[in-house]
A and B are shown apart, each in its own frame.
Chain A
């Protein structure tokens, strides 16, 4: 027994391994996994956030590609392995972020427009014409909103000098970050493959959910030439082989980050759902082999598709403000010194003391979609202390989760049996217990926190036969903790009613938007 070696070297086998690239919003990472799905090494590099104007957010795609190459080399070096030990490379990425580049030089024609960028707001309203933001919902499962890639492509074609002509002449390629990374990995201008996967394509507003192909009618409505578009492939197949440092390694998966987390959490059956608790929260429910239309403000999206198997669809609901509300309590209110302290403060009281906090900081999202709403703290009396407010802060995340789950249940008819959770806020024990209480369903945390990268690794491993099937992946999944509901039904119903009353009070605050 020596004291100097690390857990990583002592407990991981000889390989082979799968490497996953997570091209995220703030950084690019590469994680090497072993056959048991355990992390062997991690490397990470942040890239610049470019804010040319209020509401505009851009990334330098060339910088991102450089960083991706560095973190891949870095992760392999830290693991002490070479490309020969890597059976396949998987990719997961920030969704919707859009880049256009010259196919002959490989140079981006403009900074990438990031999903948070709102410059296409007016364009989206215009594209809605007399129908409104649901004009393409039946085909794409999405509302016309500035997040999605299609309108971003159109903006660049309209605003970059001479770009439309070059695009129509077949000189320009479009991609979300998965396409950009895969094209570059497989050779770039020298034979790079121009592909995207169904999950990323389902965030463009251009793909038809039934045919899983680009929708001609929408392309012509948005005036986007089909020549720029990548081929839509499954999420787990060998798209091509890497050139350069990773020469010969199969590039074998692509999944949008939230879909990758669904995959990494092994939510392979209809009715299984995962929720990722970060600054915001994304909840995805596997709805099986049919896309479920939402009448409650959720998004219909492709969950994943393995090779030539049938695609698996998902409903997605997001909560804008969860972890960021705790940060707000720390940074703006100064009521706590660290994010973890919210639990200490909240645990010092038995209940919320009658206070409810609805953090509609920029309006209410799913299932309400009210941009005229603003945040409220309701039910204040002299009895209420900062500890009660801290409790209300945590309960806000729990009740917003409940609202999304209820909306999913209404749309799909599928009852949630258990919620698999990941993300930074899962270290908050009181929050996890509260979510179990208000959902009246068990909340389960898996042993590998990096579910997003793990999902990409799993998909790539399946594509090359490193893992046999999804059952083998399921067998890899380990429960690290489980919170079971302890709240009695009467309390839950009363508290939910109070929460909904507080939500009611946020609406109509901003008058001009009516």
Chain B
């Protein structure tokens, strides 16, 4: 096979060997079975261990398959689990910010709203769970695009519709926006999707630091913005909430 990388082949062989039986194997067992030098084998095992694919038993020093492999085969975070974990934090965000809260995930070239908390006033509001928002113009969508490579590809391949005069559609300018989002850790939508409406969002990470969703608030530009910028207090509240949900998903341990 042209261009195959030897160390990756060897790592695969180690994993296959460890998957072959119930028992744990020592360094010598692995090296002997694969016909490798002990030093090489140790390097491979240590790297796999760092990635969580292999675990070493503390008492015997023997190796076995790691929990990360299970998660690879089962990596999809259930959006309903995400909602259940986010519930208390998003309620608190709505109360702290006075605005409506949305939790979104990437779904079919857009943002699927999986959780919505009403703005805490007495006004009539309709639950928007199940609605879709565009990737390239909303705060939720831009956060996903900046942090999730799959969303990034979708957003670049799609035609980026100009919803308002402020919508960013040109690829180079759009990439610049995404760079800023990555640098700051949050995204804003200042009347780029709906006239008179602004929103701010931050990424939610799981325990492997994968971006699994975005959480944010949306409201009238007069309330959410000050001098043409999102109010710092609201940015802080949104980021606090995103971190709290991430922590609940195990993301805070890294």
User: Could you tell me which A residues sit within 8 Å of B by CB distance?
Assistant: 1-3, 5-7, 10-11, 36, 38-39, 338-344, 424, 426-429, 447-449, 478-484
Contact = CB atoms under 8 A, between A and B. Distances in A.
A344 B129 contact: no
B78 to A, nearest CB: 5
Given A340-B80, A427-B83, A447 B91 contact: yes
Given A340-B78, A344-B78, A480 B84 contact: no
Contact of B120 (A3, A342, A447): A447
B29 interface: no
Nearest to B92: A7
Interface of B: 78-81, 83-84, 87-89, 91-96, 115-118, 120, 122, 125-127, 129, 232-233, 235-237, 239-241, 244
A344 B117 contact: no
A427 B115 CA distance: 9
Nearest to A482: B127
A341 B81 contact: yes
B244 to A, nearest CB: 7
Given A340-B81, A449-B88, 13 more contacts: A1-B232, A1-B233, A1-B235, A5-B240, A7-B89, A11-B95, A11-B96, A429-B83, A478-B118, A479-B122, A480-B120, A481-B118, A481-B127
Contacts of B122: 479
B84 A3 contact: no
Contacts of B236: 1-3, 10
B118 A480 contact: yes
A327 to B, nearest CB: 14
Contact of A427 (B80, B93, B240): B80
A211 B237 CA distance: 51
A231 to B, nearest CB: 38
Contacts of B117: 447, 480-481
Contacts of B120: 447, 478-480
Nearest to B237: A7
A482 B84 contact: no
A38 B83 contact: no
Q: Which of A10, A342, A424, A480 has the most CB of B within 10 A?
A: A480
B217 to A, nearest CB: 13
A449 B240 CA distance: 19
A3 to B, nearest CB: 7
Contacts of A339: 84
6 contacts: A7-B93, A426-B87, A428-B80, A429-B129, A448-B91, A478-B118
A6 B235 CA distance: 13
Contact of A340 (B84, B116, B239): B84
B226 to A, nearest CB: 13
A344 B79 contact: yes
Contacts of B81: 338, 340-341
A427 B84 contact: yes
A14 to B, nearest CB: 16
Nearest to B122: A479
A449 B117 CA distance: 13
Contact of B95 (A343, A427, A478, A484): A478
Contacts of A480: 91, 94, 117-118, 120
Contacts of B87: 426-427, 449
A6 B87 CA distance: 17
Given A447-B120, A478-B120, A341 B94 contact: no
Nearest to B120: A478
Given A341-B81, A447-B120, A480-B91, A7 B240 contact: yes
A447 B78 contact: no
A483 B126 CA distance: 8
A407 to B, nearest CB: 28
Contacts of A36: 95
Given A1-B236, A480-B117, A341 B95 contact: no
A44 to B, nearest CB: 14
Contacts of A342: 80
Nearest to A338: B81
A10 B238 CA distance: 12
A424 B84 CA distance: 8
Nearest to B116: A481
A482 B127 CA distance: 7
A6 B244 CA distance: 9
B83 A482 contact: no
Contacts of B92: 7, 11, 38-39
B78 A338 contact: yes
A69 B57 CA distance: 42
A479 B120 CA distance: 6
A91 to B, nearest CB: 23
Contacts of B89: 7
B127 A483 contact: yes
B67 to A, nearest CB: 15
B83 A340 contact: yes
Contacts of B127: 481-483
A429 B103 CA distance: 13
A152 B79 CA distance: 46
A449 to B, nearest CB: 6
B170 to A, nearest CB: 30
A10 B235 CA distance: 13
Contact of B240 (A6, A340, A343, A484): A6
Contacts of A449: 87-88, 91
Q: Which of B232, B233, B235, B240 has the most CB of A within 10 A?
A: B240
Contacts of A341: 78, 80-81
A5 B123 CA distance: 31
Contacts of B118: 478-482
Contact of A10 (B79, B88, B115, B237): B237
A280 to B, nearest CB: 19
Contacts of B78: 338, 340-341, 344
Contacts of A426: 87
A447 B233 CA distance: 21
